[in-house]
Structure 1
Amino acid sequence: MKNYLLIGTIAFMGTALLTSCGQAGKKAAPEAEFTYEVDRFEDISVLKYRLPAFEQLSIAEKEFIYYLSEAALCGRDILWDQNFKYNMLIRKTIEAIIDTYGGDRESDEYRAFITYAKRIFFANGIHHHYSNDKFVPGFSADYLAQLIGGSDAARLPLAEGQSVEELAGFLSPILFDPVLYAKKVDQSEGTDMITASANNFYEGVSQAEVEEYYSSLADRAEPRPVSWGLNTKVLKVDGKVTEIQWKSGGMYGSAIDRIVSWLEKARDVALSETQKKELDLLIDYYRTADLGTWDDYNVLWAGNTGLSVDYINGFIETYGDPMGMKATWEAVVQYKDTEASKRTVLITENAQWFEDHSPVDPQYRKEKVTGVAASVINVAMLGGDCYPASPLGINLPNSNWIRTEAGSKSVTLANITDAKDIVARGSGFLEEFAYDQTEIDRAVQWGSLSDALHTDMHECIGHASGKLAPGTDPNALKNYASPLEEMRADLFALYFMMDPKMTEVGLMPSDEPAKAQYDNYIRNGFLTQIVRIQPGRDIEQAHMRCRSAIAHWVYEKGKSDNVIEVVTRDDKTFVRINDYQELRGLFGEMLKEVQRIKSEGDFAAGKDMIENYGVKIDSDLHTEMLSRYARLNLAPYSGFVNPVMTPVTDSDGKITDVKIEYCSDYLGQMMEYGKNYSFLQAW
């Protein structure tokens, strides 16, 4: 489970770029000179992230990180194909055009094409990474044909016997027809979510057929169920619903084999025997696709804590599947920030206290909170569904029974958060949307701490809290499972941030950081996050539905007592919290109900909560927010280019160091990855 930035408040930084991907070995710039933003287009800001104190790591740690990082880059094609079955064809066509097109590269149409290409690279496909809507090209279908016709045919991904003109004709409706493949994930009420969604998890089957198929496999009496459907594509063979496994020798096998080859190198230099054993299990899982092996790996991985270097690698998160079953491929390589982790240690040391004092029904609390491990880490490499758009926090494994019996790991991504915070300074966002100067001053003084604490609490103890009632199907909430789970973790964090325990154990000096978080959360969920949505659209993304549902539910339930007030001033809408303690009580009430819904698998109640509070947007308010936000000239989304790692070897080929170069060429990195880390075919 991931926690994403509430809203990108990225201000454009016009200073000169200091490094490029081609300047390997250059000394990193001092903090005061480091330029974080490397590109800006449409609604996207692309940043760099630093690797603090990387040079202080041991050679063994650096070598381990290097091999894991190469594995993290080798699965990129998998995500592209999972997102949409023609994404690889489209990407390879775009890459060929950028490399070989012989026509005018200074025209407005070519510039529009490059912007379109950048958007596709950022989203890992032709659908927006957050809204799931298909991108609208800023050029014509005729111009696409001109681009393809003016490029080197030998570089184009032509099918056997296909002409250049036929390739252009095939791609034209896919890219330009607004109805065809319109949404990557469509969870609109009343639709067949399988046939309406353009992702590549299902083909030729309906939602009813998929539900019936997996219902026949699941055993509700099994106390340790595997994650059915996690690593397969569902389709029909001879009229029968079946699955194709993602594994070595199976679907995505050529990319998985490359991942495995680097994981084997990492295993051989792993920093502990337990880490070697878990990597052996992960490699075996990639070769067999056995879900029992995946569970064995996660049990061992979750219990292996206190590491200086760790990683995430596999088919993990299910946000991209409207049914919440199929997992996209992702990878993160990380090393521990020991000083900052003291904060998360305090939280996890008190995890049982938080669970015991939770406002949820006692029968749905955990009697014993097991193996909650949390760290603040620095990212060394992002891959798959964590790149370029990165989460701020991650809590894994996702399996309920493993979390109960073996525990979980939570990480807060410090250098990712720092990069976003630094770029956001002085953006004018708070001055435009905060209610008054008191709110602004509180956010400036306590915003960084309050955001870090909320992420830590969300990941460390929010996701780790609570339990299912005996016999509850883990998949009972279906397409509403993800937003409800994010609500549960957010509410847990929000409720306890205002608790005196936070100051008692030294996590906060007073309740002011909690107030700053309450201000920020309600403002974002009620007002500012909707600037990410196109006019006339509903909220689709799980984290956004979560925040909207929480903000609107507590507003409605506290309306009679004026707990939260909607204020109009100078024709602008603001929200003001009048009673922070009453708001905390409302967060507790909502947490109790959301936990009940999850524990009992109450699909109807979960659906009502999301559909009634988390989906719809007031059109007049939406128009106002979009207008006010546009005047700030900010990008609501941000992501990252990765650093470049270069191993230094001795005469025997043994790695003696790993040098870091910070890339400042977003498009260049995308093209380089297409050349060096692409292992799947276009057709």
Structure 2
Amino acid sequence: MSVPSHLLADEKAPVCRLEIQPHFDNLSAKEKLYAHHISKASFAGTRVVLRQVSPESEPLFDLILTVARHVGNDFSKIVEACSVTEDEKEKFVEFGSQVLANLGNYKSFGDQKFVPRIPVETFTKIASITPEAAKIWEGIKEQVYQITPEGITLLGYPPEHMSAYYPDSPAITKADIETCGETFVSNGVLVEHTRLKQLKDGNFEMLVASEKTGEGSTYETKDGRKITTVYGDHSEEMKVMADELDGARKSALNDTQEKMMEEYVKSFREGSLEAHKESQRYWIKDIGPTIETNIGFIETYRDPAGTKAYFEGWVAVVNKERTKVFGKLVERAGDFIPKLPWSKEFEKDKFQKPDFTSLEVLTFNSDGIPAGINIPNYDDIRMTLGFKNVSLGNVLNAKSPSERVTFIDGKDLSLFERLRGPAFELQVGLHELLGHGSGKLLQETEKGVFNFDKENPPISPLDGKPVSTYYKVGETWGSVFGATAASYEECRAECVAMYLCPDREILEVFGHTDDTEAAAEDVLYISYLQMARAGLLALEFWDPKTKKWGQAHMRARYSILQCFLSAPDNFVSLDSTTSDHSDLTIHLDRSKIRSHGLKAVEKYLQELHIYKASADVKGGVALYDKMTSVSDTMAKFRDVVMSKKQPRKQFVQANTTLSEGEVTIKEYEATQQGLIQSWLDREEIVGAAKQY
């Protein structure tokens, strides 16, 4: 069976190095030691990430590194040893590099499976270079190449789609998962650090990530089935992480960091999410550190139910110069939030000024690396203590010389290429701080206690009537909006960025006026044009057969393009003169951004926000489904988007070593060989290949 082209592994993917050495060299010996231990803890979670993607991801990871180690990372040796061609060798290396970059065989951005560009017989020949690799391969080769039924090539609800959050549960259904989810909500059980397993008798086990093992509480579903808590998921890895974090505790730079590390250690040893929440309270209080970090089960994008989170661990050095810009934005946040299109009843009573730092990443271990982060995600902490924002500078600035800019008019090309960086930094800053950082959830915080006037509820600007819905005790934004929540919130945050970036005071905060080299009006134009282009490119992540979106942020950006297109007087148009749309070009009338584009964004943002704030899941999901439905016209453009798509960047990260009390850093060349070597050098912390 031939493999559809969109499922084939990337060819000639750009490899970028996360530049860190100069920033790391400026740290004190104690700061380096603190960062080293957290880096090691983060990489110790590698196998956890792999197990959260697909059953074959962990053995595939081990197979690739087993072959690489056997040939000393010199893959030219497999040409003769395995009787394969130079081209087949290249395609094996490209596939292996993509698995390591995504920590699994599903794309971290798009949740779509990718398969090798070489036949299974060729892969088998290469795997036979060592008995260990051959044995691993025999156990997974069918899964690696499996592309039918088609749903299995996308992450989503089992059994139609792939999800590793429900291991060894071939018969589990969406209804089962929802029933268990309701049980967890009604019992106040936090599930971010869990997986769910269905037993042969129809009962369930909630697998909790922890060093400790054994059974805990049992819960009963509404239909009488039992859910037993079982500790010790990823026990071996959780122990290594806890040990390294204890090392970080001993080298912490202040009392707050020491207490934060204590809570991380407790959380990872005992499987306590309450301890993890406590770590986040300390994290928020650790203001202006030199070394910034976070670790745990954080984001819920990849669980189809939107409640269980994937592991990520990161540590970075603060870039003090760029942080000053974000500091100015934080200082002025109280001036800018009231400009958003809702009344104070739908906004937090007090804006907790967060830390907002620009970071240079030393280590970011997860299935992918974002450009910015706003955490923690725990609603109760966000509403009371606040949150932190970070912008990842060396991720934002990682450029590949081979990257082509598509769908932009020739006359805009040089301006686009010159200002896309500043425009993206503006977007990320507003998205994280004033997007994710704004808004209030109308809640019953405990029985009979409300954070709004229950007798005189706020008036919805959408219909002029008092809101009639709110979050009940135990409900969270994620549990109410479910699988829609993650993408919906990304969309709301992106809309806040689009709504505020025309503000001249905000543009000036970021250093853009009429007199600067990156002129304010040009940066604004490129910000809108870049968002429109992102919305068009998003079609890559929409599956025309299943009508399913595979990436939260891209679904959001597609809906914002639809919002732009809905504005009158041809504010944005997608134009082509050829039948195959090969010359498809985005035209955006820069003279109408404030008069037309901004008004369309205002209406959409207001709707998104009010539905979210008032727990109106019916109205919110209906709106979002409508804005992200792909018309026949847009579907026709998908072919040209696919034909011009470029592989995502693969990042090579440094490693640190502790020897005789001194921490040193090793960087790698920005090649696939460099990427593979960086992982070979992590064997001690990730662990040797498992026995399969």
* TM-score between both structures, scaled by the size of structure 2: 0.81
**Equivalent residue for 1:477?**
481
Residue aligning to 2:563: 553
SS of the aligned residue for 2:426 comes to helix
Q: Could you say which residue in structure 2 is the equivalent of 1:501?
A: 505
Contact 1:84 1:199 in 2 (8 A): yes
1:60 to partner: Cα distance: 1.5
Which residue matches 2:533? 523
Amino acid across the alignment from 1:66: H
Corresponding position of 1:410:
389
| 8 Å Cα contact 1:174/1:180 also seen in 2 | no
Structure 2 CA distance for aligned equivalents of residues 232 and 550 of structure 1: 33
Match of 1:269 among 238, 244, 251: 251
Compared with structure 1, are the counterparts of its residues 81 and 157 closer, same or farther at alpha carbon in structure 2 (3 Å cutoff)? farther
1:440 to 2:413 alignment: yes
Q: Which residue does 1:6 correspond to in 2?
A: none
Structure 2 alignment gaps of length 5 or more: 1-8, 71-77, 213-231, 445-470, 514-519
Q: String of CA shifts for 1:56-108, please: whole Å, max 9, x gaps.
A: 22122112111211112111111001111232223323333444474225454
Q: Is the 8 A contact 2:62 2:690 kept in 1?
A: no
Q: Which residue of 1 aligns with 2:435?
A: 462
Q: How does 1:92-131 map to 2 (within 5 A)?
A: 92-100=62-70, 102-131=81-110
Contact 2:10/2:95 (8 A) holds in 1: no
Contact 2:316 2:362 in 1 (8 A): yes
Q: How does 1:490-639 map to 2 (within 5 A)?
A: 490-503=494-507, 505=509, 507-509=511-513, 510-525=520-535, 527-530=536-539, 538=547, 539-556=549-566, 558-559=567-568, 561-568=569-576, 572-578=583-589, 579-581=592-594, 582-616=596-630, 618-627=634-643, 629=644, 635-639=646-650
Matching residue within 204, 207, 211 for 2:178: 211
Q: Which residue in 1 is equivalent to 2:14?
A: 45
CA contact (8 A) 2:495 2:601 kept: yes
Cα displacement (A) at 1:408 = 0.6
What amino acid is aligned across from residue 574 of structure 2 in structure 1? V
Partner residue of 2:211 out of 248, 254, 259: 248
Does the 8 A contact of 2:16 with 2:650 survive in 1? yes
Counterpart in the other structure of 1:654:
661
- 1:12 counterpart residue number: none
Q: Is the 8 A contact 1:248 1:287 kept in 2?
A: yes
Hey, what's the Cα distance between the residues in 2 that align with 1:305 and 1:448? 27
Q: Is the 8 A contact 1:80 1:124 kept in 2?
A: yes
User: Per the alignment, in what secondary structure is the counterpart of residue 356 of structure 2?
Assistant: strand
Instruction: After superposition, give the CA deviation of every residue in 1:113-157 in whole Å (9 maximum; x if it has no partner).
Output: 333222222221222222323223323333344444x33325655
Q: Relative contact order: is structure 1 or structure 2 higher (C-alpha 8 Å, sep ≥ 6)?
A: 1
Give, in angstroms, the shift of residue 500 of structure 1: 3.0
Q: 1:145 to 1:644 in 2, by over 3 A?
A: closer
Structure 1 SS opposite 2:398: helix
Distance change in 2, residues 1:103/1:442 (3 Å): closer
The equivalent of 2:40 in structure 1 is: 70
1:197·1:322 contact (CA, 8 Å) conserved in 2? no
Residue 680 of structure 1: how far off its partner (Å): 7.7
Alignment counterpart, residue 58 of structure 1, candidates 28, 33, 40: 28
User: Quick check: 1:141 aligned with 2:105?
Assistant: no
Question: Match of 1:212, as an amino acid?
Answer: T
CA shift digits 1:562-594 (9 cap, x unpaired): 322333357622222231012112111111111
Query: Cα deviations across residues 500-544 of structure 1 (Å, max 9, x unaligned)?
Result: 33156564313332222011111221x334356688675421011
Hey, what's the Cα distance between the residues in 2 that align with 1:305 and 1:369? 16
| CA RMSD between the two structures | 2.7
Q: Tell me the distance in 2 between the aligned counterparts of 1:258 and 1:679.
A: 14
Shift of 1:382: 1.8
Moved more, 363-372 or 529-538: 529-538
The answer to whether the Cα contact below 8 Å between 2:66 and 2:689 also exists between their aligned partners in 1 is no
1:338 to 320, 324, 336: 320
Which letter does structure 1 place at the counterpart of 2:142?
P
**Within the alignment, does 1:282 sit opposite 2:264 as a pair?**
yes
Change (3 A) 1:532 1:291: closer
- 2:572 maps to a residue whose letter is I
| Pair 1:232 & 2:194 matched | yes
Letter in 2 for 1:658: T
Task: State how far apart, in whole Å, the 2-side matches of 1:69 and 1:541 are.
Answer: 27
Would the aligned equivalents of 1:183 and 1:198 in 2 still touch at CA under 8 Å? Answer: yes
State the 1:196 CA deviation.
Answer: 2.6
Cα distance in 1 for partners of 2:562, 2:339 equals: 25
Q: Distance in 1 between matches of 2:88 and 2:388?
A: 48
Match in the other structure for 1:486: 490
Aligned residue runs from structure 1 range 370-389, under 5 A? 370-385=352-367, 389=368
Alignment partners' CA distance in 2, 1:680 and 1:355? 51
The aligned runs of 1:313-328 (5 Å cut-off) are 313-328=295-310
Cα 1:219–1:372 change in 2 (3 A) is farther
Given candidates 310, 327, 347, the residue that maps to 1:365 is 347
- Determine if the alignment matches structure 1 residue 196 to structure 2 residue 157: no
Q: Secondary structure at the residue paired with 1:339?
A: helix
Alignment length, in residue pairs? 602
Whole-angstrom CA distance in 2 between matches of 1:534 and 1:111: 29
Structure 1: 5+ residue stretches without partners? 1-39, 159-166, 188-192
Name the aligned partner's letter for residue 664 of structure 2. Answer: V
Question: What is the CA distance between 1:219 and its match in structure 2?
Answer: 4.5
Partner of 1:44: helix, strand, or coil?
A: coil
Q: Is the 8 A contact 1:567 1:575 kept in 2?
A: yes
Q: CA deviation at 1:480?
A: 0.6
1:531, 1:239 → 2: CA distance? 38
Greater CA deviation, 474-483 or 366-375? 366-375
Q: Distance in 2 between matches of 1:121 and 1:292?
A: 32
Q: CA deviation at 1:180?
A: 5.6
For 1:186 and 1:72, the matched residues in 2 are separated by 24
CA displacement at 1:274 relative to structure 2 = 0.7
Give me the whole-angstrom Cα distance separating, in 1, the residues matched to 2:304 and 2:329: 33
The equivalent of 2:374 in structure 1 is: 395
Shift of 1:395: 0.9
CA distance in 2, matches of 1:304, 1:675: 31
Residue 409 of structure 2 aligns with an amino acid whose one-letter code is: Y
Letter in 1 for 2:24: F
Alpha-carbon displacement from aligned partner over 1:610-643 (angstroms, at most 9, x marks no partner): 333325373431223344x36xxxx341121111
Shift of 1:292: 1.6
Distance in 1 between residues matched to 2:558 and 2:320, nearest whole Å:
35
Amino acid at match of 1:434: I
1: CA distance, partners of 2:272 / 2:354: 26
Q: Is the 8 A contact 2:654 2:665 kept in 1?
A: no
